[in-house]
Structure 1
Amino acid sequence: MELSSQKAWEKKYPAEIPFSIEYEERTLQSYLKEAREKHPTKIALHFLGKELTYEQLYSSALKFANQLKALGVVKGDRVAIMLANSPQSVISYYGALMAGAIVVQTNPLYVERELEHQMVDSGAKIMICLDLVYQRVKKVRSKTNLEHVIVTGIKDYLPFPKNLIYPFIQKKNTGITIDVDYGDTVHSFVKLLNSGTTKEIHIDIDVKEDLALLQYTGGTTGVAKGVMLSHFNLVANTTQAIKWMYKMTPGEEVILCALPFFHVYGMTVGMNYSIMHTSKMVIIPKFDTKQILKGIQSQKVTMFPGAPTMYIGLINDPDIEKYDLSSIEVCISGSAPLPVEVQQKFEQLTGGKLSEGFGLTEAAPVTHFNQMWGERPSGSIGLPWPDTDAIILNAETGEAAPIGQIGELLIKGPQVMKGYWNRPEDTYATVRDGWLYTGDMGYMDENGFFYIVDRKKDMIIAGGFNIYPREIEEVLYEHESIQEAVIVGVPDPYRGETVKAYIVLKDNHQLTEKELNTYCRKHLSSYKVPRVYEFRKDLPKTMVGKVLRRALVEEEQKKLEEATKNDQLKSS
């Protein structure tokens, strides 16, 4: 199918950003080597007081790569990394790439069923995991192809005396006693590294064809699929990010890395961006508002990629005004829609720029972004990045929709995946003629700015009306008492579906269902007003802060099934 876009966005590009980039055909790991050669003594990462220079980081990654090869890893083998943000996660990632392996990023929160699925599907040969999750890995290992497990702990890279105190704090907070049965196939990360060699490794890599990463989709809309991303996909997307943030100076920036590296967003705009830009990473293992605020102040952070829930948490921290956040220049928001009032409040508090972008795992992940130092229309995901084509597809005509008309967003560009691992049918359904079918519904305005109204699958059809949850959520976020809100469609015998709102209130705020209903009726058409409200202390989320809307839908389905069962029992 021949599809052509209007490319109205090119007239809105700032002069500093090119429409097209000449991408270097290099491996990801070559950028770490270059950073070490140019700036060996520069601090590459800061982790809870511990620091590594680029020389130390490169040497560690090279030692790890040689140890992986000694364990039998060859080009194309899959190496799984199940770690929180830490020096070990960076060393493992680049070390695996140096060994010619394909990285499989694995969420440390995965339960055994999810972990087994990913290991079996990917065929991973080696797993690097936290000591806290080792027992989970042990339980599923016999059902997978895992030949070796390498275990590390947060304490391994803490400075003295934190490294001695941390295990006691960890046990108190988690209740977990660390029990690792080291042996011939279960290894200590630290011991492996200490006995490793810095012998250079030379492996022929076809950067456009060879995979660097199998990044599994979040599983928020079904079974997690392995997204195949080449070195070129990831280098291209990181290069696009560097060009877009054109005021940021190579070698001088300090980047807060609180987004998980095992999520493609944190990996690209946090870790890979830092290495390619020779920046300093301030690594945070777990999101905590006080730790973030202290980190920004003490390390003079200039760039903070995050998710809306992170910024919501920060602006609602009662002590935020006690911290000096003036070093912040750029904040990048992704993974979920950014409420306008959150953006405005955060910019007031820091003096930096907070802009929203858009992406998906299948695009490594970023495709659109608002300008940092230019026009930023309210509610827009911004303009397509250099070399990124985008159209809104009219499902009825099969052609590009007119300006302002809602349809499915399609993407084409150098960052688009090669396909899904071992899933040719899913690949064909998602990528056709180079176009990535995102499953997101949106429109483009006359200036080329794009807007997402919702996921195709999240759209609610009530009484024949198409209702987009994001529109209602934006209205709810504008209420002064609401901290978080999510809208889902629940079964309704009359309307087919009806709108339900889940609400988290700010601390010390009160709001009744009646008051909220009155508020919504002032700001929404009657058919969009929620029919049911549920107040909660928190909402189910992924590690990157995206609300698990599917989990809430499943809750409603279970309630309906139980109610139906009870009715049947009563009638019998």
Structure 2
Amino acid sequence: MLVVSDVYTLPDLLARAVNEHPDSDIVVFPNSRTTFTELYERASKAARSLKAIGIKQGDSVGILMSNCIEFVDLLLGSQLIGAIPVPINARYKAKELAYVIDDAGLKVLATTDRIVEHVDFVNLLQEAFPDLENQADPMRLELSEARNLNSIILFGERMPTGMLDTETFETLSKNIDEEAIEISRSRLQVRDIAMMMYTSGTTANPKGCPITHEALVRPAIEAGRTRFKITETDRMWDPLPMFHMSFVLPLIACIDAGAALLTMEYFEPKLALSYMKSEQATLNFASFPTIMEALLNHADYDPDILNMRIVNNVGPADLLVSMQERMPNTVQISAYGLTECGGVVSFGHIEDSLEKRTETSGRLFRGIQAQIRHPET
């Protein structure tokens, strides 16, 4: 049988999922769950609010948040009107925040004060932009360090000077008709920029990677259909930060399949094990040995109870072999990640030998080309 590539904009992929799986869970937290229909409605409301404050196609929308449903609302809501969401690393310090916000040309930034016991985003932004507390109109900021930034939206309880509060932002959605959002979605093209993802900036300033809808959606669909073989009955656990490609790719794969993505506000091994058990997780996108080791070494870990089909993990071969031995009911596969190519360019197959699954990053996705070069020649 000939293989055909499905290519969608992400909003169209979500709309298709709403038609096919309206009442199924898509984003699940330990204490809440959101169906496909509810997610589309939430994203549409966020899109209407963004449009009401002047955001249009091609504008950049920053998202500086911990893992929460509002993050997903804004990610998809921005895309519904052709704006470009820019997920921002929640671990950045004030200097890095100021750089990324200005470099990305953000028109609006959404943040939260709901995890102030862990990180105070309000304080960080006030440190990054000393003039913020002197602003007269939170919808018309004039910050010398962020030349394009018009508004900062704060989801939470506080109402600091220079920031637009949640209630005002959400009420603005009433000024825009739902049909306007559907018209915007109909005009999107697969090679429009879907998202700007900034790299880590370990040795220099972070660098923005513009990613098209095609580059974002195709690898995720490929991974879901050919590597994880996701179906509408699957429930994929993914505790990773929402600002990371290792959240975005599984989210898209689950949207394509009509499956549920089980996320968490923060990773804690005891809670994670209980959560995966109660939600009957079938797939695991832990991705990093530090997370898997915390699970496997915990006193509550029982491979016969957590009977997941597949886990994604990366690391040295000997460590991967050791972890596979402790997961007798699960097949562990690995991947090669590359932000510029939509997150991942290759994945192992569950049919591969243990040697291939632990010593390689699998095979390239269809449509991806790679070269191996010697750094000196």
Same fold (TM over 0.5): yes
SS in 2 for 1:320: coil
* Aligned residue pair count: 347
Report how far residue 216 of structure 1 moved. 0.5
Q: How big is each residue's C-alpha offset from its partner over 1:5-43, in whole Å with a ceiling of 9 and x where there is no partner?
A: xxxxxxxxxxx9x7x64232x211111111112221112
Report how far residue 107 of structure 1 moved. 1.3
**1: CA distance, partners of 2:72 / 2:293:** 28
**2: CA distance, partners of 1:254 / 1:180:** 38
Q: How big is each residue's C-alpha offset from its partner over 1:56-88, in whole Å with a ceiling of 9 and x where there is no partner?
A: 111010011000000000110000011122211
Counterparts of 1:342-357 in structure 2 under 5 Å? 342-346=320-324, 348-349=326-327, 351-357=329-335
- Does the CA contact (< 8 Å) of 1:215 and 1:361 recur in 2? yes
**2: CA distance, partners of 1:277 / 1:347:** 29
With 92-101 and 139-148 compared, the bigger mean Cα shift is at 139-148
- Does the CA contact (< 8 Å) of 1:321 and 1:349 recur in 2? no
Give the structure 1 partner of residue 265 of structure 2.
Answer: 285
- Does the CA contact (< 8 Å) of 1:289 and 1:313 recur in 2? yes
Letter aligned with residue 198 of structure 2: Y
Give the structure 2 partner of residue 368 of structure 1.
Answer: 346
Letter aligned with residue 298 of structure 2: D
Give the structure 1 partner of residue 155 of structure 2.
Answer: 152
Report how far residue 343 of structure 1 moved. 4.5
- Does the CA contact (< 8 Å) of 2:159 and 2:165 recur in 1? no
Q: How big is each residue's C-alpha offset from its partner over 1:443-501, in whole Å with a ceiling of 9 and x where there is no partner?
A: xxxxxxxxxxxxxxxxxxxxxxxxxxxxxxxxxxxxxxxxxxxxxxxxxxxxxxxxxxx
Letter aligned with residue 240 of structure 1: E
Give the structure 2 partner of residue 461 of structure 1.
Answer: none
**2: CA distance, partners of 1:66 / 1:95:** 8
Q: 1:246 to 1:224 in 2, by over 3 A?
A: closer
Report how far residue 322 of structure 1 moved. 8.8
SS in 1 for 2:154: strand
Matched, 1:192 2:183: no
Counterparts of 1:511-550 in structure 2 under 5 Å? none
Matched, 1:101 2:83: yes
Give the structure 2 partner of residue 207 of structure 1.
Answer: 190
Counterparts of 1:265-414 in structure 2 under 5 Å? 265-268=246-249, 270-306=250-286, 307-321=288-302, 324-326=305-307, 328-334=308-314, 337-346=315-324, 348-349=326-327, 351-376=329-354, 377=356, 378-395=358-375, 397=377
**2: CA distance, partners of 1:395 / 1:120:** 34
**1: CA distance, partners of 2:95 / 2:304:** 42
SS in 2 for 1:317: coil
Letter aligned with residue 262 of structure 2: V
Counterparts of 1:32-71 in structure 2 under 5 Å? 32-71=14-53
Q: 1:39 to 1:324 in 2, by over 3 A?
A: same
Matched, 1:231 2:210: no
Aligned counterpart for 1:136 among listed residues 111, 124, 131: 124
Report how far residue 205 of structure 1 moved. 2.4
Report how far residue 347 of structure 1 moved. 5.4
**2: CA distance, partners of 1:303 / 1:353:** 10
**2: CA distance, partners of 1:211 / 1:181:** 33
**2: CA distance, partners of 1:350 / 1:266:** 26
**2: CA distance, partners of 1:322 / 1:275:** 28
- Larger Rg, first or second structure (1 or 2): 1
Q: How big is each residue's C-alpha offset from its partner over 1:330-354, in whole Å with a ceiling of 9 and x where there is no partner?
A: 11124xx244344443553361111
Q: How big is each residue's C-alpha offset from its partner over 1:268-288, in whole Å with a ceiling of 9 and x where there is no partner?
A: 1x2222222221121212111
SS in 1 for 2:92: coil
SS in 2 for 1:390: coil
- Does the CA contact (< 8 Å) of 1:64 and 1:96 recur in 2? yes
SS in 1 for 2:63: strand
SS in 1 for 2:312: strand
Counterparts of 1:475-494 in structure 2 under 5 Å? none
**2: CA distance, partners of 1:207 / 1:120:** 27
Give the structure 1 partner of residue 160 of structure 2.
Answer: 181
**1: CA distance, partners of 2:104 / 2:36:** 31
Q: 1:368 to 1:121 in 2, by over 3 A?
A: same
SS in 2 for 1:97: helix
With 192-201 and 349-358 compared, the bigger mean Cα shift is at 192-201
Whose relative contact order is higher, 1 or 2, with alpha carbons under 8 Å and at least 6 apart?
Answer: 2
Letter aligned with residue 108 of structure 2: I
Q: 1:301 to 1:129 in 2, by over 3 A?
A: same
Q: 1:350 to 1:70 in 2, by over 3 A?
A: farther
Give the structure 2 partner of residue 259 of structure 1.
Answer: 240
Q: How big is each residue's C-alpha offset from its partner over 1:168-226, in whole Å with a ceiling of 9 and x where there is no partner?
A: xxxxxxxxxx743267x5121x6634663570312222322x21111001112322100
Letter aligned with residue 126 of structure 2: K
Letter aligned with residue 138 of structure 1: Q
**1: CA distance, partners of 2:71 / 2:214:** 21
Q: Report the TM-score when normalising by structure 2.
A: 0.85
Letter aligned with residue 190 of structure 2: V
- Does the CA contact (< 8 Å) of 2:333 and 2:349 recur in 1? yes
- Does the CA contact (< 8 Å) of 2:224 and 2:253 recur in 1? yes
Report how far residue 383 of structure 1 moved. 1.6
- Does the CA contact (< 8 Å) of 1:44 and 1:52 recur in 2? yes
**1: CA distance, partners of 2:342 / 2:284:** 19
Q: Any unmatched runs of 5+ in structure 2? A: 130-142
Q: Which has the higher strand share?
A: 1
Percentage of matched positions with identical amino acids: 25
Aligned counterpart for 2:222 among listed residues 234, 240, 249: 240
